Amino acid sequence: MNTFEFEAQCVAVEHPYGDCHLVGFADRKFNTSTYLMLQRAFEFDEQDVELGMDTYHVEWCGQENSGYGGISRFTLTRRGAEVAFTPDAAKELYEMERLAISFRLTPSEYTALREALGHIFQDSGCLVVADA
């Protein structure tokens, strides 16, 4: 299994322009080279549904590595996250099947992250929260 691991020095939970949930994990706050960004619109229109864009969006280290869906399981713990990609998404991500992200968050930052991920992965069935 092809796995990539990194420590996120910056974990962002935002609602840019008030129209989507956005979560980002980055190796550093500025001049980022390694990152995973997840987002999901608050609302979808007819065109979004027709084009299959009525789900979460994933971006890995650049727009050339982005798309809708593609995560089979996202496991969140207080110290990190493990992302398992679908076979099709893994092919697009240079055969990366699994991504492990470690981070350090305050309890309130972790709660905000967990809530935002709940919205992003709503109805997808891939979010697993393992707080213990």
Task: Give tens-digit pLDDT for 10-27.
Answer: 999 998 888 899 999 999
- pTM for the model stands at 0.92
Task: List pLDDT tens digits, range 59-94.
Answer: 999 999 999 999 999 999 999 999 999 999 998 888
Single out the residue of 122, 103, 88, 126 nearest to residue 36, CA to CA. Answer: 103
Q: What is the mean pLDDT of residues 43-69?
A: 88
Domain segments of the chain as ranges: 3-129
Q: Report pLDDT for 132.
A: 53
Looking at residue 58, what DSSP letter applies?
E
